[in-house]
Amino acid sequence: MDKDPVYEYEYPDLEPQGSKIEAEVIPPCDPTADDRLYHICITAISVVVMLILAILARRMKVGDRQKGLPGLLSPVNFLDHTQHKGLAVAVFGVLLCKLWGLLISPNPLPFTTDPQNKQNWVILGVFYYPALYYPLLACGTLHNKVGYVLGSLLSWTHFGILVWQKIDCPKTPLIHKYYSLFSSLPQIACLAFLSFQYPLLLFKGLNGTEKNNVTEDLNSSYYRDYVRKIFSKKESTKISTSSTDKPKIPQRIIDAVKLYIYTPEDAFRFPLKLAITGVVSFITLYQVGLLLISVVVPPLQMARMGVDEDVANLLAGFRIVLSPDKHEVVRIVVYYMWCVEVCYISAMTLSGLVNLALLMRSMVLHRSNLKGLYRGDIYNVYNCQRSIRASRPALVCWMGYTSFTAAHICIGMMIQTMVFFLCLLIAVFLVIIPILYRQNLILLQMLWSMWPFWLMILLAVLIQHITARFCFIKKTGGTQDLDNRGNLFLLTYLLFPVNVLIGVIVALWRLIITALFNIVHMGRMDISLLNRNVEAFDPAYRCYAHYLKIEVSQSHPVMKAFCGMLLQSVGQDGKSGQRSRDAEEGIQLVQQEKKQHKVSTAKRARGHWQLLYTLVNNPSLVGTRKHFQRQTAESVLNGSLNRSTREGSKKEAETAASN
């Protein structure tokens, strides 16, 4: 007798290892360098380091207005685009890894093992770890050799003890035996960078190549180079005919790929907050991906290896008979569980790659938005008129932008993994496997049974497109107009019921597309998931919009170039007044040779025109002009001149030029 074709499956050889699977028991490991003793010692050392830095800060002038401890309490200037970003980025990376372990570990703090008050210890740890790693960042504040020595000792201590502990105890019972080891790799990398960077800064300081001036921000040539690039741009007035042609498909593909690849520019430097956000986002992707793999995949593998013939009796209790042979049932179940495991790993990998691509896209868009706001192009960035100035909500959003980004990426990646996993399960078990084995074609049979409906929908759509193309549109005099309006109205009436059914399909498709788009872009704060008219209700995008306000209003390159030149002109003997006027008019930014003789009327007029050119290309600087500060707030809207004010400025410049 022939066998039933239902039982003639050919599955891969994925035999279970046995009916009794003993899970590997990882005993608690106590490293030679006791964690509790280490934290007590390193906390005391950190306090001593802070006292030494405070004494040094009292003996040296930290800034024009800050001396001593107040200057020390600002570890890094987050609004300085010219400083070395490595120290701050590495410390934030270490802090993020410790805070991630704080939420996962059963003992949040090494000082206690009380599981009953874990929530209170977590709250305490949220403030303890930033204070513990603060000296690592504060050692570079004073730009002093002693600070670099202390920073080297601290970073070496943290790095050495952590590596020592991981070598002593590579396996831990937390989630997975190697989870703790792999989770600490970003922290080890950041501490290794600090252990290398602080000695490098000390070596540069001993050789005299390290800059100790804390006002280096305004003295940097970056801002002057930025302004020179603005003046050197040549706007083409003629549009070539080749630019109006559509690019070919290979060129369009290359342009699309470039949108996701960040390439550095000489005349633009990323703000420190965005650099920290980029590294923190990457570490968050790694930590979330590692957690999702460690929590789900090992239990699935253990369950697959533990399947035995009892599973046939379990399925029979639910009236599910896969095969009369119990051994064949075991093979089928093991194969299906292996498919589930593959779907989950694929979903998590796809989610990680999507978030990584979107992170690269965000970096490109950040630069585009900042450069647009530097030019005063507010409407194209925000799609509405906004005031570019510091405010209370803007400052709060600026402070929490990096933290909010990490949280959104964490939640977004988890949701994406679950959604992608469900989609892959549906595709594998309802489409791919039934097609491969030509059995259980439930979904395909259901769709095939509705073929008259799908044929009607297809014909209705084709009829409307074909008739609209050849019957109802005519070209006359180079323009298009409606034709055969009577037949058009008749067809519209007749197809009304069919279009209702088409509308249901379109609505479902719209729901799916909208949900997938919002889920995929959940981790991005630089775009709104809501319509432009209601994007103010999107808290993530609102935070990003306020963050840009602080960055642009406080770190505008043209403004800092102007302020730096004013500082350079202060204290000059003889012609200091003339140099101040030259700095205001922007002459020093474009002159390659400084001439000391008296400025003629023509040169003064040219300087006024250059000042006008600078203000036109940077409208956000208009509000900083002295005579505009005396005017009403209506004269300057969102960093841009009103029409009447702009005309008055042009008349003023023309009068100055004629004089």
- Rounded distance between C-alpha atoms, residue 223 and residue 386, angstroms: 25
- Rounded distance between C-alpha atoms, residue 374 and residue 369, angstroms: 9
The pTM of the whole model exceeds 0.95:
no
Task: For 640, list phi and psi in degrees, rounded to 5.
Answer: -120, 145
Using DSSP's 3-state secondary structure scheme, residue 61 falls into strand
C-beta of residue 494 within 8 angstroms of C-beta of residue 512:
no
Q: CB under 8 Å to 490, separation ≥6 — which residues?
A: none
Query: Token digits for 312?
Result: 């046939």
What CA–CA distances, in Å, run from 142 to 49, 67, 76, 77, 548? Answer: 13, 11, 10, 12, 28
Average pLDDT over residues 389-402: 87
Query: Token digits for 154?
Result: 């601290």
What CA–CA distances, in Å, run from 265 to 103, 229, 269, 365, 630? Answer: 39, 12, 7, 14, 38
pLDDT tens per residue across span 28-45:
777 787 778 888 888 888
Residue 656 burial class via C-beta count within 10 angstroms: exposed 0-12, middle 13-18, buried 19 and up? middle
- Rounded distance between C-alpha atoms, residue 484 and residue 493, angstroms: 15
- Rounded distance between C-alpha atoms, residue 583 and residue 569, angstroms: 8
C-beta of residue 87 within 8 angstroms of C-beta of residue 202:
no
Q: Strand (E) positions, 133-211? A: none
pLDDT band at 643 (very low <50, low <70, confident <90, very high): very low
What CA–CA distances, in Å, run from 204 to 54, 181, 191, 566? Answer: 23, 34, 20, 29
What CA–CA distances, in Å, run from 602 to 168, 499, 599, 658? Answer: 77, 72, 8, 9
**Rounded CA Rg of the chain:** 33
pLDDT tens per residue across span 322-348:
777 778 878 888 888 888 999 999 999
pLDDT band at 86 (very low <50, low <70, confident <90, very high): confident
Angle between helices 86-104 and 272-305 (to 10 degrees): 30
pLDDT band at 644 (very low <50, low <70, confident <90, very high): very low
